Structure 1
Amino acid sequence: MPISGRETLLEVKSLSAGYGKIGVLNGIDLTVGAGEIVALLGPNGAGKSTLLKALSGLLPRTGKVTFAGRDMSTTGPREAVNAGLVHVVEGHRVFTQLSVHDNVMLAGYGMARRELEGRVEEALAFFPEIAEKRNDRAVTLSGGQQQMLAVAQGLVRHPKLLMLDEPSAGLSPVLVDRVLAAAARLRDAGTAVLLVEQLIEKALNLADRVYALARGSIVLEARTDEPDLPNRLEHAYFGQDVSAPLA
């Protein structure tokens, strides 16, 4: 459950999903509290990215998804974004031939122009390094800067929950720290974050709670301040006995 005192923002019960006839996720139960960072860890192929895609409506799923008090079990990506659930997919998915500014503007398609301009400036303010390049085409940005741009696109909608899929992939340690620091600032501003990350130590230092996913199922849930957590995670990945999830 979310940290005591935080209202539950996202509640997932018995969620299953996959690709066509290929099942990947089996009966996932998960919660994220308002203003909380939750890390989702696990080995390659565990189903982490599949879970984020299912939650954002990019994949069909079964089970129940409740977000901000609303049943979103059958909603698609547009409804999810409009409700404040925003998914930044893995791989720096930006429009390389558009400028930095236009990339962020495009993420707010359909919003009133005056409101959108203000939100673009707010989003870019999280990343001064790319704000300085607002008129440059995205293709000229480094991999780390493109990742910052992808996160800035997600911020335009003022999400209640931002889902980040491996934001550190392919980045230098310095750029990883900059991107993850933005997640910490979002939490301070009241935005919840569901973070898929391979850098376990950095994820645990940032997050309030952690879920471990292996073979399409949640195998561990814990607060990140619990003792011996890295060892418990390793055991969970390989199917050994671990302590029961928190009530």
Structure 2
Amino acid sequence: MHTSAHEDLLQVQRLNAGYGKIQILHDVDMAMRPGEIVALLGPNGAGKSTLMRAISGLLPWMSGDVRFDGKSLHRASPRDAAKLGLVHVIEGHHVFTQLSVQDNLALAGYDIARAERQQRIQDALAFFPEIAQKRHDRAGALSGGQQQMLVVAQGLVKRPRLLILDEPSAGLSPVLVDRVFEVAARLRDEGTSVLLVEQLVEKSLALADRVYAMAHGEIVLQADTNESNLQGRLEEAYFGQHA
């Protein structure tokens, strides 16, 4: 089960956020510890992407707090969060199609010293041999799935301690979905935490250590993924009392 707060890498505490006067998130609590994969599941419109944007600094909060490695991220920009090690790979993010794969990755590490940046690019490409072979090609010449891999690789250049993947399987073939999930597992093995927002419920539960489920902007379930009858509990959480 979940550990105590002082062992957490990420703590979301009674977080309320939304767009303008429209509140989407309602008193959301969540925590992650180092080196684990947590799946965040829920139907469309549940508030998952809003929560990710609020955590990573893309969306201001109405109230509550997000703490990363003990430090509050209140008023922190996405750049501030990334410098601390919290990196958000956003659904639908596009690459610079006229630039090479290599240059796209270099841009992701623009604020890192050149020698260090080159090493990080090498390390990121090692996760994706499909695009490593095309590092000097224009990103626009990659397939849609390969461009999605490049987006994830851009996040890896920042050497995250926590990587937020928002629907990384969107638009990918089953083979490439498996590749992205393999990368997530390797990152966990190397000590990186991964917060995975996905529609592929069975695959996500097979990969993750723990799961949170959202509905109507609230956390309606949290559990270890090895708990019995988890699928049934998820369906109840989605469609039961919160229907």
TM-score (structure 2 length as normaliser):
0.96
Q: Does 1:40 align with 2:40?
A: yes
The CA distance in 1 between the partners of 2:124 and 2:96, in whole Å, is 17
**Deviation string for 1:184-234 (max 9, x for gaps)?**
000000000000000000000000000000000000000000011011101
**Deviation string for 1:1-57 (max 9, x for gaps)?**
6468x9310001001111111111111000011001000000000011111100010
3-state DSSP class of the match of 1:16?
Answer: strand
Q: 2:225 matched to which residue of 1?
A: 224
Q: 2:16 matched to which residue of 1?
A: 16
Q: 1:245 matched to which residue of 2?
A: none
The CA distance in 1 between the partners of 2:8 and 2:29, in whole Å, is 13
Deviation at 1:111, TM superposition (A): 1.0
3-state DSSP class of the match of 2:135?
Answer: coil
Count of matched residue pairs: 241
Q: 1:109 to 1:141 in 2, by over 3 A?
A: same
Deviation at 1:58, TM superposition (A): 0.3
Q: 1:189 matched to which residue of 2?
A: 190
When structure 1 is superposed on structure 2, of 229-238 and 81-90 the one drifting more is 229-238
Q: 2:98 matched to which residue of 1?
A: 97
Q: 2:216 matched to which residue of 1?
A: 215
Write the mapping of 1:173-184 to structure 2, written as runs, cut at 5 A. 173-184=174-185
The alignment yields a C-alpha RMSD, in angstroms, of 1.6
How high is the sequence identity, in percent, across the aligned residues? 67
Write the mapping of 1:1-247 to structure 2, written as runs, cut at 5 A. 2=2, 7-61=7-61, 62-240=63-241
3-state DSSP class of the match of 2:9?
Answer: strand
The CA distance in 2 between the partners of 1:170 and 1:3, in whole Å, is 35
For 2:12, the aligned partner's letter is V
In structure 1, runs of 5+ residues without a counterpart are: 242-247
For 1:145, the aligned partner's letter is Q
Deviation at 1:239, TM superposition (A): 3.2
The CA distance in 2 between the partners of 1:27 and 1:74, in whole Å, is 18
Q: Answer whether contact 1:209 1:222 (CA < 8 A) is retained.
A: yes
The CA distance in 2 between the partners of 1:7 and 1:144, in whole Å, is 36
The CA distance in 1 between the partners of 2:194 and 2:2, in whole Å, is 12
Q: 1:167 to 1:3 in 2, by over 3 A?
A: farther
**Displacement over 3 Å in runs of 4+:** 1-4
The CA distance in 1 between the partners of 2:140 and 2:186, in whole Å, is 27
3-state DSSP class of the match of 2:67?
Answer: strand
Deviation at 1:240, TM superposition (A): 3.2
The CA distance in 2 between the partners of 1:142 and 1:214, in whole Å, is 34
3-state DSSP class of the match of 1:103?
Answer: helix
TM-score (structure 1 length as normaliser):
0.94
The CA distance in 2 between the partners of 1:69 and 1:3, in whole Å, is 15
**Deviation string for 1:144-176 (max 9, x for gaps)?**
111111110001111000000000011111110
Q: Answer whether contact 1:92 1:143 (CA < 8 A) is retained.
A: no
In structure 2, runs of 5+ residues without a counterpart are: none
